[in-house]
Amino acid sequence: MTDVERVLDSASLTGDSLRRVTVAGANVMLGRLPDGRVVAFSANCPHQRTDFGRATFVEGVVQCTLHSYCYDTETGENVYPAGEVDPSELWRSKPGYLPVYRAEERDGWIWVEPEPLPPPASYDPDLERSPAPAAPANPVPAGGVHPTKTLKVAPGTTFGLRLATNPRPGFAWRVETAGPLLAVVEERFQGGEKPAHVVRIAARGQGRSTVTCKYARPWDTKPAEVRTYEIRIEF
């Protein structure tokens, strides 16, 4: 290796922990593979630039905490969702590739080259470009938008929503509240014969607000299902 930078003493990188360092002004994460080798890669997820500070690192694969995207830390190749998505649909998820750096250990230190390696052979930027729309499409599948429901709750109380969940890989409910009157205090999955996403919401003052629930995969721009609730907070 030439033109390398000494970034961290070897003893500081143990187990499956991640350490942040700076290489040529760029934030880089260091990890150690099960065989003891050190890997170095960008400190941000390529998908939406999420910081890898709390990422999970397991056997050479780093998993982003936001959308569970996974990348090979030796090659930069996206493992999930690219491994489960049809190539013609890859433009929806846009996983990109993870910039990785050549690293080595010697003299009790970790050394990293300042320039990332070339993209992995599997990366094709053309697959991640949005195709031109053939014709106008509905914002969501037919029947995906439910009529708005009205709920009346008292100020200072909490109320619950039970959102039916189908076992569809990658899909999850995203719950959004409008304004400061409502706050989500709990979300959990409830199994059984009729699985559901259960939400508890606190009403913090009097007035009206809305709760919007969208059922989609992280990379979908159009949710498969939308449920909207008008909340009247009054005594």
Q: For the whole prediction, is pTM greater than 0.85?
A: no
Strand pairing class (103-106; 182-190): unpaired
Mean of per-residue pLDDT scores for the chain: 89
DSSP tag of 90: H
Cα 87–chain centre separation: 20
pLDDT tens, 64-112?
A: 988 889 999 999 999 999 988 888 888 889 999 999 999 999 999 999 9
Tell me the residue length of the chain. 235
pLDDT tens, 159-169?
A: 999 998 876 77
Contact by Cβ (8 Å): 68, 53: no
Cα–Cα distance for residue pair 64/74, rounded to 1 Å: 16
pLDDT tens, 148-159?
A: 999 999 999 999
DSSP tag of 234: -
Cα–Cα distance for residue pair 230/65, rounded to 1 Å: 31
Cα–Cα distance for residue pair 7/106, rounded to 1 Å: 12
Q: Which domains does the chain have, with CATH numbers?
A: 5-128 (2.102.10.10), 149-233 (2.60.40.2020)
